[in-house]
Amino acid sequence: MRAVVYEAYGSPKVLKLKDIPKPIPKDDEILVRIHAATVTSGDIRLRASDFPPLFWLPARLLFGLFKPKKKILGHEFAGIVEETGKNVTKFNVGDDVFGTTTMLKTGSYAEYICLPQQWKSGVIGFKPVNLTYREAAALPVGAMTAMYLLDKANLKTGQNVLVYGASGSVGNYAVQMANQKGARVTGVCRAPNFEMVRSLGAESLIDYNKEDYSKGEEKFDIIFDAVGKTKKSEAKKVLKTGGHFVSVRMLTTEKDENLERIKTMAENEELKPFIDRCFKLDEIVKAHEYVDKGRKRGNVVIDVQP
């Protein structure tokens, strides 16, 4: 099978398309033929070993001190079950599925992957019936991160919510979820992305290149940092008493029930993946170079199957 392998940290050029053996599922695993994957911020950080100084050494010890332990990147996917182990009860051959590869030994930049039907760190479930493989692959990481942090902030109807980085892969889902809950949403992003973020449900927009949200007069119940580029000390200036600041820098947990909630929202057309660009698997270097520029909107998808 074809897979994108990297054996050293560095620029997108460390990613190499190779032919490797097709995996064989164990008794408790399913073999998924991957149709689509994405380029997430996690993929970028692992490829470049771009971790904050405080966490650099622990991260390198976890993911590989001198070279990466996980040779195939790709944190989320959508595809079809091609084979099941004898102990698998949840899935059948032919099922359309989507999910994550969190803490597995391999990722989704490959034509096939073996996954347990359930494991501690990641999730897999049935694909929303109304979404394409591209759209479904773009859901799990960003949407579950947004859902987890909004739950942590105790999102309620009628609240005033600010999403910093509203046009990104996490931020666009946070805007949609807050809007669906009946909150009033202010999106912070670049001016060229205003139309996109407004279409997702934001009522007010702030161009971070021209205005500092923390110096405004409006107060918020929740400030959601969707890109890890603002601080709690800044957010406090415009947080209401008892308000919550949440950030993608916080630890989050993937839950089966959250993946199911996301699936239901998508099928009810309450949540829509926003896809910026699509690249073929053999264009993986171009895809990473594009995301490295820091200007992507929503999600960048990789078409694994031709």
pLDDT digits (tens, 9 = 90+) for 96-119: 999 999 999 999 999 999 999 999
CA geometry: angle at 249 spanning 183 and 16, to 5°?
115
- Within 13 Å of residue 35, how many CA atoms lie on the same side as its CB? 18
Amino acid identity at 252 = T
Q: What residue spans define the domains of the chain? A: 2-139+273-303, 142-247
Query: How does residue 49 score in pLDDT terms, banded at 50, 70 and 90?
Result: confident
Instruction: Render pLDDT for 180-237 as a digit per residue (tens, 0 to 9).
Output: 999 999 999 999 999 999 999 999 999 999 999 999 999 999 999 999 999 999 999 9
CATH code reported for the domain at 142-247 = 3.40.50.720
Burial 30-63 (b: 16+ CB within 10 A, else e): bbbbbbbbbbbbbbbebbebebeeeeeeebeeeb
- Cα separation of 205 and 75, whole Å? 30
The predicted structure's pLDDT at residue 303: 98
Stretch 125-137: mean pLDDT: 98
Query: How does residue 306 score in pLDDT terms, banded at 50, 70 and 90?
Result: confident
For the domain made up of 2-139+273-303, the CATH class stated in words is alpha beta
Q: How far is CA 191 from the centre of its chain?
A: 23
The predicted structure's pLDDT at residue 283: 98
What percentage of the chain's residues is helix, strand, coil (to nearest 5)?
A: 30, 25, 40
Stretch 226-253: mean pLDDT: 96
Query: How does residue 64 score in pLDDT terms, banded at 50, 70 and 90?
Result: confident
